[in-house]
């Protein structure tokens, strides 16, 4: 049913698409460092060469009971439930910043365990529910 012309076009086009997909894949792979928006504490821990004077972003959950505030400075621990990094920040945090919730900090590493942030972003997850449901859930968990 397919004519020779159509067949050659299918062949040509699929070759083109596969080629383009491979090129995009290779580019994204080699740029992985730039595509990821933040590193988790475990990724920082496993990284061999970290530049301590380059700005990076780290992200994870704010560890429960780790937030301490003094004047305008705030200290807390970012955790991915495996490794932890202490973050120190001077300024106002977003409204959604809270213990047990996601966070991304932008700044510089002092060492692998200590991070000085100059920007804090709150990250929320894909769960949406009314407050009453969340309260009921928490009650049933405790």
Partner 1 sequence: MLKNFFPNKILSLSNTIINSLILLLIIVVIIGLIYSLLISPPDYIQGDSVRIMYVHVPSSFMALGCFGFIGLASICNLIFKIKFMSLLAKSLAPIGFIFALISIVTGSFWGKPTWGVWWVWDARLTSMTILLFFYIAYILTWKMLNNFDKANNISSIIGIVGLLNIPVIKYSVDWWNTLHQPSSITLTSAPTIHYSMLVPLVVMFFGMLIYTLIIFLMRYKTEVIKFKIEKKKNYK
- Chain residues binding partner 1 by CB under 8 A are 6, 9-10, 13, 16-17, 20-21, 24, 28, 32, 35-40, 59, 93-98, 101, 104, 120-135
- Show the tokens assigned to 28: 């994204």
Write down the least CB distance from residue 83 to partner 1, Å: 15
Torsion angle, alpha carbons of 126, 131, 136, 137, to 10? 20
Q: What's the CA gap between 55 and 41, in Å, rounded? A: 15
Pick between residue 28 and residue 111 the one whose CB is nearest to partner 1.
28
Pick between residue 52 and residue 133 the one whose CB is nearest to partner 1.
133
Q: Are 56 and 104 in contact (CB under 8 A)?
A: no
Measure the N-to-C terminal CA separation of the chain; round to a whole number of Å: 67
Write down the least CB distance from residue 16 to partner 1, Å: 8
Q: What's the CA gap between 89 and 115, in Å, rounded? A: 9
Pick between residue 77 and residue 105 the one whose CB is nearest to partner 1.
105
Write down the least CB distance from residue 104 to partner 1, Å: 6
């Amino acid at each position: 049913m397919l004519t020779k012309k159509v067949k050659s076009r299918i062949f040509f086009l699929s070759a083109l698409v596969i080629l383009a997909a491979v090129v995009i894949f290779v580019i994204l792979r080699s740029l992985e460092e730039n595509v990821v928006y933040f590193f988790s504490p475990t990724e920082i821990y496993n990284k061999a060469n970290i530049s301590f004077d380059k700005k990076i972003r780290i992200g994870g959950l704010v560890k429960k009971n780790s937030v301490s505030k003094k004047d305008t400075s705030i200290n807390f621990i970012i955790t991915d439930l495996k490794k932890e990094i202490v973050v120190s920040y001077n300024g106002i945090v977003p409204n959604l910043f809270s213990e047990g919730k996601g966070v991304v900090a932008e700044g510089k590493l002092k060492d692998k365990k200590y991070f000085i942030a100059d920007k804090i972003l709150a990250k929320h997850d894909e769960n949406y529910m009314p407050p009453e449901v969340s309260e009921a859930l928490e009650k049933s968990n405790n």
